[in-house]
Amino acid sequence: MGDNYAYIAKTSGLKGKDYVGYALVDAAGCLVFSLVTSILQKYYTDVFNLSPLFIMFMFIGARVWDAVNDPIMGRICDTVRAGRYGRYRQWFLYIAFPLAISTMLMFVKWPGLGGDVNYTATCVYATVTYILFGMLYTVLQIPYGSLASVVTTDVHERSKLSVFRSIGAAVGSIPVFVLISFAYAKRTDAAGNYVYGENGQIITDMQYKPVIIGVVVMAICSALLLLLAFTMNKERVVTKPKKAVKGAAKAAVKALFTNRAFIAISLAAMLLLAGQMFTQSFYLYLFNDYFNANWMNLASQACTYSPMIVLMFFMPKLARTIGKKEVCAVGTAIAAAANLVLFFLRGMAPADLMWIFLALCLVSGCGLTTLVLQLWAMATDVIDDIEVRTGSKDVGTAYSVFNFFRKLGQVVAAICVNGALLGMNYKYEKGAVQTLDNLKKMYDLATLIPAVMFALMSLILFVFYPLSRDKVAELQNGKEELLKKELEH
């Protein structure tokens, strides 16, 4: 660190242990969140036998509650006095086991539950446990998002933190797809004969026992990783609680919504999570019903996440030399193009299309990985931009609103997934068989919807997101001046 950034140097200097400790939080979080983004949707339709229409409205209703819940948690982070463990990392300790328990409860099918047994009670149970999980996950995610601002003030170290966070998320997401590989069994009739669908393939059904065992193991591992992450993280920037001034929260939120960079990165984050959740959830239907190859779930995730293993070594340098905005805008455009090509290949037979589908998933994964690896660094840049412009430091509030945009991505995904299921007339009743016409519509929607989402992301980054490489360099100078004032007074 040069002399021009002497004050930033005092609140930076990360070691390998710091990066690993930071990544462990998202690994722990994604161990349970990946269950929601991938398997929960199909679990609700195929095990709980709930209708896609109800699931869609339940997901939307939960996000309406988040509009209240998330800002409250953000203001708590900003206004409550820091404890002996710091302002943000203390929450990892408090939330570890409550979050694990709420995860298990979402998937427990108690006697008497199930849409084919007691539909109303099952709907109520699913709603209560899903909202409970969402509230507890917020208690983890908002402090975690805010943590980067007090771990280091150096823009390059934050870029590396973003990469490690993404690696942690990828590691935490892998086990669910291993679980999916063991979660199905071939359907048999009363005589023990295999049941075939209209496409001539044996129908497979999701099984409760392997799912609940996997969920319990992943939830416990998540809690233990959070405890480990708690011991490995350090807050280098000492923050004072915001005074509870009347109208302060409203002013903080107004500053966010009048900042072009914040709106742009929030919309990009919303669409990124929506695209990821849509593919993870809808691919379970696609690979099971259209391709009749559940092994493709794990293979597609390998194609999606394996580029990270290579790009993680190059992204910090690319971000410095080319710019975060520039690299991510091109990457998301590549992802959109790959999915559009898949859509135009819809006339091929499923057996002939499998490997081409996975190859283009790899191309799409390479493109998306650019934004996945740099999203959190860009979010921190934006929050610095707001602080430099306004002089106000409302990190918790900023991340709560940013996190709410990401949750709106869950709404978009829920509408798209369940809207697609309704549009193709998906048959969710126990023992149902999908028609050939339904399956063709399923493929079209599985490829076209992500193409549109990723194209919109690229457009937002190219046109609306203002923090280019040169702008970020100017921002670092402004941040140095702010730190100088803070530390000298």
Whether 377 has a pLDDT exceeding 90, the answer reads: no
Residue 448 has pLDDT above 80, yes or no: yes
Return the pLDDT at 155.
72
Instruction: Give residues with Cβ within 8 angstroms of 237, minimum separation 6.
Output: 11, 149, 150, 151, 153
Does the model's pTM come out above 0.85? Answer: no
Q: Tell me what the mean pLDDT of segment 268-272 comes to.
A: 95
So what's the pLDDT on residue 354?
A: 94
pLDDT band for position 213 (cuts 50, 70, 90): very high
pLDDT at 232: 85
Give 336: exposed, middle or buried? Use CB within 10 Å, 0-12, 13-18, 19+: buried
d(CA 90, CA 80): 12
- How is residue 74 written in tokens? 């953000």
Cα separation, 313 vs 302, whole angstroms: 18
Residue range 345-358: mean pLDDT, rounded: 94
- The whole-number pLDDT of residue 108 equals 95
Output 254 or 347, whichever has higher pLDDT. Answer: 347
What is the per-residue pLDDT for 210? 93
pLDDT value at 186 more than 90: no
Nearest one of 408, 306, 295 to 363, comparing CA atoms: 306
| Residue range 431-436: mean pLDDT, rounded | 83
Average pLDDT of span 293-321: 85
Question: Would you say residue 2 has pLDDT above 90?
Answer: no
pLDDT band for position 4 (50/70/90)?
low
pLDDT at 489 over 90: no
Q: Which of 42-56, 138-152, 186-200 has the lowest mean pLDDT?
A: 138-152
Q: Tens of pLDDT along 219-266?
A: 999 999 999 999 888 777 666 655 555 666 677 777 788 889 999 999
Residue 165 phi, psi dihedral angles, 5° rounding = -60, -40
Q: CB–CB of 431/49 below 8 Å?
A: no
Share of the chain above pLDDT 90, in %: 39
Report the pLDDT value the prediction gives residue 483, as an integer from 0 to 100: 64
Q: What is the mean pLDDT of residues 294-316?
A: 85
Please name which of 369, 366, 343, 342 lies closest in space to residue 356, comparing C-alpha atoms.
342
What residues are paired with 224 via a beta bridge?
Answer: none
Specify the fold of 3-237+246-488. Growth Hormone; Chain: A; (1.20.1250)
Share of the chain above pLDDT 70, in %: 90
Q: Which of 113-117, 149-153, 341-345, 355-359 has the lowest mean pLDDT?
A: 149-153
pLDDT digits (tens, 9 = 90+) for 82-140: 667 777 888 899 999 999 999 999 999 999 888 888 999 999 999 999 999 999 998 89
The sign of the CA dihedral 371, 332, 368, 408 is: positive
pLDDT of residue 214: 95
Provide the pLDDT for residue 242. 56
Supply the pLDDT for residue 388.
Answer: 79
What's the mean pLDDT when you consider all of the chain? 86
Of 35 and 148, which is predicted with more confidence? 35
Q: What is the pLDDT of residue 481?
A: 72
pLDDT of residue 68: 74
Q: What is the pLDDT of residues 412-431, one digit of tens each?
A: 998 999 899 988 888 877 77
Q: Of 350, 347, 365, 348, give the one whose Cα is nearest residue 299.
A: 365
